[in-house]
Structure 1
Amino acid sequence: MRLWSTLPFLLLPALAIHAAELDRTVLPIPEPKPPTYTELDARKVEKPPRFEVTAPDGAPNVVIVLIDDIGFGGPSTFGGPIATPTLDRLAGSGLVYNNFHTTALCSPTRMALKTGRNHHTCNTGSIMETATAFPGNTGQLPNSVAPLAEMLRLNGYSTAAFGKWHETAAWETSVSGPFDRWPTQQGFDKFYGFIGGETDQWYPLIYDGVTRVTPPEMEEYHFTVDMTNQAIGWVKAQQSMTPDKPFFVYYATGAVHAPHHVPKRWADKYQGKFDQGWDSVREASIKRQIAMGLVPEGTELGPKPEDIEDWDALDADRQKLFARQAEVFAGFLEQTDHEIGRFVSAIEEIEELDNTLFIYIAGDNGTSAEGGFVGMYNEMTYFNNVTEKVEDLLPLMDKWGGPETFPHMAAGWAVAFDSPFSWTKQVASDFGGTRNGTVIHWPKGIKSQGEIRSQFTHVIDVAPTVLEAAGLPEPKSVNGTPQTPIEGTSMVYTFEDADAPERHTTQYFEIFGNRAIYHEGWLARTLHRAPWETTKMRPLEDDVWDLYNTREDFNLTNNLAAAEPEKLKAMRDLFMKEAERYHVLPIDDRVIARVNPALAGRPDILGDRKSLTLYDGMNGMLENTFINVKNQSVRITAKVTIPEGGADGVILTQGGRFGGWCLYMKDGKPVYTYNFLGLSRDTVAAKEPVPAGDATIVVDFEYEGSEGELGKGGTATLTVNGKEAAKGKIEKTQPLMFSADETADIGLDNQTPVASDIGIGRDETRFTGTIEKVLVELLD
């Protein structure tokens, strides 16, 4: 409810310029020149009006909800088997978009969404952790590409972001910044969430603004519940304090990206509901989709990838394991939709829902197939090229989704939850990777209700849609920098006309070599690699292209390449033209290798340094801002003071329960533990306690592999004050990545512990002695 008109006029600040007269194409809007006075006594002069920028009259609140890693065929709103009652409700009184597209990957979609420009224009050709040196892929958003949040903030909106970010260059996430590309300098007054691509939902790495914070104490803590509480609290407070000021909320859940963490009661709601398998789920979904009018009559399922086995060909153990994986995933999505429902109800309680432009995007890409063919107890095995085995996963079924797992599901489910399409996340050349169900709800601004819109739309269309709905022009300059024009097309023209001619007529797609071009109903594409293929791809120039008429072929099953060679050539030429224009070229199809900054060619905050000195209190250091100790010999030298009676706790650690290493003290004795992906631990422990007083504790790790060999083992030697205290074998090491969110810490172990015998959390793992400094050295 807007209270502007109900307050006494004399209590309101006068405006120097009426809002309608402001030139909003240059942001921030310049303040008028202040008047000068000749009168000595202020009591004899009428005070001047105060200049203030307010949003246009009637401008709606804006909420953008973005769920992570769920495809078109997952939510019930789009014919899927997973209940999403909040999305159903909004669809019933809003508009359903069945031809809305994303980029097929996390960071690129988020950048395109927040700016209205293509992801390569935003220098986000892939996720932040795989940025390279080439334009279009550097991971650094240019100043000439201002985000929607900044446009709205400078036009009189209050702005807040909650949940997943994944839009900051990996080397800009340390205490040294720069913080230009953190949320609070990307247009958001408030940020509460995590910076990277994923987090442990039970033990998340949370920032409030730019400050790391400890999750609040609550019964059965879960991050999605926490972020929703924060969002509800912020909106209610903002409207309480400034009811005349519209709000913009970006609500981006970590769910349902791996790890698939959810309270057991949510997963158990789906017990037995996936026993029929992914093939039957696909068939049932397309029947519902056709009945709901979301998919044309006569549409057949897209062919399943050849690498995905038929459900009936699986043995009983695999079926049992895979069914439980789907139950956990489904519970995770329903819980997420429930939390979004709490947020919707809160906006309704303060009587703001009718004038809130609520855009609910069910997925930033298709469902993820990164779980491989059998799923994963620990998703980090994917990023280290380690394949898990069914016989090792079966004993963990009862724990699946809980704090003792970091799980992902088998790829067959990703295909099923992308029904009726063939492919999944990462496949930018198939609608299974890019088409995501979307609902727009705005009772005050949209008369049509419960209708389907089928015009081609893309995530870059969201920002111009919001601007048009708010009555705001596209800015030509923001914060002193001329702007790259918005590349998306407003969707407002579709609001009241289901048959309006399509306005977004051309769109390229590219992720890790998978690429396509859409133009006036036609799609040309090449399937360069499957999501589970990370090495030994065929040369890009050898890719074979397909051609489809999407207006007659909803899910790309009738390849017209042979019948229409001239059309295919024209489309391929158009792709190259668009690729050159938007800095897609040169294409880099490497995936896991690009995690290594040296191989990718992106900046590394430590550069060529071979040592790093650390001090007490330095914790929360993300992997991309810490010295890289993988695949080489390392020496760790800790200068500490031991109190009378001995010391316990962590001296230095990196990683967590699902992979990493830790130097700590237990019962006064130094211990070094290497945790290989949570699958095994090797421990070297001294037998004698360290005497009270100053002490030097050293770990020497001698790597067995030769230069270029990855993931080999080695020997760890512990010395105390120059004398050998213990020596032992480390069987194998993680070659590429410890964690997406677990950190390196001095004096404690944040989040989950690397070692299994030191407790959990900051207080339990805190070192009880004094740390002067710790030196980490890379040895030749």
Structure 2
Amino acid sequence: MAEIQRQVLPIADTKPVGLTTYVTTDPDTSFPPIEPLRPPKGAPNVLVILLDDVGFGASSAFGGPCATPTAERLAADGLKYNRFHTTALCSPTRAAMLSGRNHHSVGMGAITEMATSAPGYNSLRPNTCAPLAEILRLNGYSTAQIGKCHEVPVFESSPIGPFDHWPHPGGGFEYFYGFIGGENNQWYPALYEQTTPVEPWGTPEEGYHLMGDLADHAILWMKQQKALAPDKPFFTYLAPGATHAPHHVPEEWVAKYKGKFDQGWDVLREEMFGRQKALGVVPQDAALTTRPDEIPSWDDQPENLRPVLAREMEVYAAFLEYADFHIGRVIDSLDELGILDETLVYYIIGDNGASAEGTLLGTSNEIMVSEAPDLATAEWIIDRIDDLGSPRAYNHYAVGWAHAMDTPYQWTKQVASHFGGTRNGTIVHWPSNIEAKGEIRTQFHHVIDIAPTILEAAGLPIPTSVNGVQQEPMHGVSMAYSFNDKAAAERHTTQYFEMMCNRGIYHEGWTAVTKHATPWEFSGRSEDIDSDVWELYDTNTDWTQANDLAASNPEKLKALQRLFDLEAGKYNVFPLEPRFAERFNPELAGRPNPIAGNTQLLFGGMHRLQENVVINTKNKSHSVTAEITVPEAGASGVIVAQGGNGGGWSLYTLDGALRYAYNFTGARMYYVGSDAPLPAGKHQVRMEFVYDGGGIGKGGDVTLYVDGSPVGTGRVERTHWGIFSMDETTEVGSDAGSSVSEEYGPRNNVFNGRVEWVQLDIDAAAEDVDHLISPEERFRVAMAKQ
């Protein structure tokens, strides 16, 4: 059989050339057998596991306090890489890993929600950089992604797509089950199967948790592949939401860590550093970096605050162990299938450093940090200590714990300048091809090296053309050279880093770095790039970036700064983007806005609409109008809702009467209702909100109408100014996920009649003399969208 040409994908179909007979019964009739497309002989199954927001030091496999027996098991039979790096943020790391190219080159200079129109930041992977899954699929692999994506541009995240940048079909994954945002409620997740929204199988009370659900889907998918096509290798990408906030985990797992963090984060760093040296994941002569002045000491924490701070870390540690447990189930399934040793497993313990986005105190609700910082007090979280980790909270731990989880390095997630933001412990397990067991590899590597490694392991070339488009070469280098040669000279000798204008350059052991922005400061970030102070480290002798040589070796620093500029220019880093809050506004950022005008018409049955594809009603007067049919038994259920128990609003019926609820960050609930029940039949119901003005996040007066007549009035004293939620959605005829109002709860809240349509109007469009929307007005709205 002729060797298949795999440089140009898809592989061209071949037409048999030979004698043409008249009937199949002719003895000369002969055709070659149909050969299913397969990769080269010996190509392994591949499982890539990517955890979220886990610092270098968190896992017990790398000296941390969080038990990860699955990671330890794989490391004992494989390799630990202790100089493996990410990009310091989730979307960029994922885009870089799955493309083999630097993150700015695939448009992912930041998270998708912060995309601009600049090529390095537009969140649009160009078709000149085909993703790994597509390359493998076109070479005969089965491909599946289970879990977090966060690579879908926000302006392509609605049910109408386009789906070119979704895992399926554009990302090359034949199967996708998971979520497309940056984080997800582990108890009430917003999920997709392929491109269709689906709901979890149960509630927390019924035993549901997203981590177990993702593991179940990964196990079933891999078993199905081997049951139906045992000779066909698979590529499975398992990306849990763990351990990104919210830190959600069953209470019995938290109980295992009771009292284990009472010593505080400073002492914990010392303990972890000792274990890291004992394990050999840092050298014996390494120095523990000092805590930055911006991060408070444990001793400075008030006595009454320490118990809740310790509880935050207990919840986080339990969450990481719980995630590792379910990953263990996935590994066990490979063992049961008899294919574990022949499967190339990457276990990447974090897509960036530990997250310092939880503020100096930590929080019971992430959204409160930006929307209501005056309420996010020590007293608030102390009073809610028992809620942490449960469905009642959307919690995150304090900055001090994030810094500790990045031991022994400086800084955290977002800070791409320092190893605390970019160095993540990584384990490679492939016993059939890696002779060493339980060894450590110290070669410098980066997440862009995974794609070329997998292709080399599969015996596949990096293609020059995919789907008719000439390809940009991959920027990473294969790690396979180091698998069986501990002393091999490293091949990834230069790497730039940039995130939120935090910059760094690595070259042959030297690093030049500058920190521009602090992760937990959400406002007032400087746009003055030129005043940033650069530091210089020789990590050939200074493993942890503890000894700044900038003053003593200015020529070396200058040379590395110039090298950063050259590499940054090569890979679309420029122009640097110092703006922060403005980037969340599509008009200011320059990306497409899915919603144009001041009116949006939705229809019954539309659900799981992300916040950025629904008209923004914040900081302005607005109205919500719906045409409904009430059954003879009386009205019950949700007409339309946006958000969840951490913030949002809902128009619904209760005991037959019309109700409106406004949930302000889960801290304040405002209700307006009518006394009389809605009669059976067709009605137009309406909520008008007259905004107070005078700034953002102010209150307003609410009036409810039925068929143009007022039926209830009330006040909302405070409103969300920026965002309701990172993961909760909008539904017409129900409230999915956690519920905006406890009056109806997260289950069985579907409207029992019929919702024909819902119209959202803002500003002048919300003003209506008769408080009714006529068919002619709806027709004009529809035609205006053409």
TM range (shorter): over 0.9
Residue 59 of structure 2: aligned partner: 75
Would you say the 8 A contact 2:191–2:197 is kept in 1? yes
**Normalised by the size of structure 2, how large is the TM-score?**
0.95
Distance in 2, matches of 1:385 and 1:58, equals 57
Over 4 Å off, 4+ runs:
none
Would you say the 8 A contact 2:287–2:542 is kept in 1? no
Residue 138 of structure 2: aligned partner: 154
Larger deviation: 732-741 or 277-286? 732-741
Give yes or no for the alignment of 1:407 onto 2:389: no
Residue 770 of structure 2: aligned partner: none
Would you say the 8 A contact 1:383–1:592 is kept in 2? no
Residue 12 of structure 1: aligned partner: none
CA deviations 1:388-430 (Å, max 9, x no partner) are 1111112221221011111101110000111001211110011
Distance in 1, matches of 2:429 and 2:362, equals 36
Would you say the 8 A contact 2:185–2:727 is kept in 1? yes
Residue 715 of structure 2: aligned partner: 729
Residue 627 of structure 2: aligned partner: 639
SS in 2 for 1:140: coil
Give yes or no for the alignment of 1:220 onto 2:215: no
CA deviations 1:526-583 (Å, max 9, x no partner) are 1111101222223111111111101111111111111111111111111111111111
Give yes or no for the alignment of 1:290 onto 2:272: no
Residue 682 of structure 1: aligned partner: 670
Give yes or no for the alignment of 1:277 onto 2:264: yes
Distance in 2, matches of 1:441 and 1:165, equals 24
Give yes or no for the alignment of 1:556 onto 2:540: no
Residue 582 of structure 1: aligned partner: 571
Would you say the 8 A contact 1:117–1:460 is kept in 2? yes
Would you say the 8 A contact 1:136–1:584 is kept in 2? yes
Please tell me the residue identity of whatever aligns with 2:21: E
Residue 756 of structure 1: aligned partner: 742
The partner residue of 2:6 within 21, 24, 33 is 24
Residue 35 of structure 1: aligned partner: 17
**Normalised by the size of structure 1, how large is the TM-score?**
0.95
SS in 1 for 2:755: strand
Please tell me the residue identity of whatever aligns with 1:768: N
Residue 258 of structure 1: aligned partner: 245
Distance in 2, matches of 1:385 and 1:635, equals 24
Residue 11 of structure 1: aligned partner: none
Residue 747 of structure 1: aligned partner: 733
Shift of 1:383: 4.6
**Matching of residues 334-373 of structure 1 within 5 Å:** 334-373=321-360
Residue 8 of structure 1: aligned partner: none
Residue 118 of structure 1: aligned partner: 102
Please tell me the residue identity of whatever aligns with 1:577: L
Shift of 1:386: 2.7
Unaligned runs of 5+ in 2: 765-786
CA deviations 1:648-700 (Å, max 9, x no partner) are 11111100111101111111211111111111111111122222222221111
Distance in 2, matches of 1:283 and 1:327, equals 18
Shift of 1:385: 6.3
Distance in 1, matches of 2:83 and 2:697, equals 44
Distance in 1, matches of 2:593 and 2:630, equals 35
Distance in 1, matches of 2:230 and 2:682, equals 60
Residue 179 of structure 2: aligned partner: 194
Give yes or no for the alignment of 1:132 onto 2:116: yes
The structure-2 alpha-carbon separation of the partners of 1:675 and 1:295, relative to structure 1 and needing over 3 Å to count, comes to same
Would you say the 8 A contact 2:81–2:441 is kept in 1? yes
Residue 203 of structure 1: aligned partner: 188
Would you say the 8 A contact 1:82–1:330 is kept in 2? yes
Shift of 1:136: 0.6
The partner residue of 1:164 within 145, 148, 151 is 148
CA deviations 1:37-67 (Å, max 9, x no partner) are 5421112212333243211111111110000
Give yes or no for the alignment of 1:422 onto 2:407: no
Residue 482 of structure 1: aligned partner: 470
Residue 371 of structure 2: aligned partner: 384
Distance in 2, matches of 1:384 and 1:169, equals 24
Would you say the 8 A contact 2:159–2:196 is kept in 1? no
Would you say the 8 A contact 1:255–1:333 is kept in 2? yes
Residue 769 of structure 2: aligned partner: none
Distance in 2, matches of 1:37 and 1:701, equals 79
Distance in 2, matches of 1:623 and 1:555, equals 41
Distance in 2, matches of 1:198 and 1:641, equals 36
Larger deviation: 211-220 or 696-705? 211-220
Larger deviation: 594-603 or 237-246? 594-603
Residue 4 of structure 1: aligned partner: none
Unaligned runs of 5+ in 1: 1-16
Shift of 1:645: 4.0
Distance in 2, matches of 1:189 and 1:647, equals 42
Distance in 2, matches of 1:99 and 1:615, equals 52
SS in 2 for 1:542: coil
Would you say the 8 A contact 1:712–1:733 is kept in 2? yes
Larger deviation: 572-581 or 290-299? 290-299
Give yes or no for the alignment of 1:717 onto 2:703: yes
Give yes or no for the alignment of 1:55 onto 2:55: no
The partner residue of 1:88 within 72, 75, 83 is 72
Larger deviation: 213-222 or 167-176? 213-222
SS in 2 for 1:184: coil
SS in 1 for 2:168: helix
Shift of 1:586: 1.1
SS in 1 for 2:197: strand
Distance in 2, matches of 1:492 and 1:504, equals 12
Distance in 1, matches of 2:687 and 2:269, equals 53
Distance in 1, matches of 2:219 and 2:714, equals 52
Please tell me the residue identity of whatever aligns with 2:283: P
Give yes or no for the alignment of 1:324 onto 2:306: no
CA deviations 1:576-630 (Å, max 9, x no partner) are 1111111111111233332222222211111x32111111111110111111111
Q: Report sequence identity in percent.
A: 50
Distance in 1, matches of 2:124 and 2:618, equals 26
Give yes or no for the alignment of 1:507 onto 2:495: yes
Distance in 2, matches of 1:652 and 1:683, equals 15
Please tell me the residue identity of whatever aligns with 2:552: A
SS in 1 for 2:315: helix
Would you say the 8 A contact 2:287–2:543 is kept in 1? no
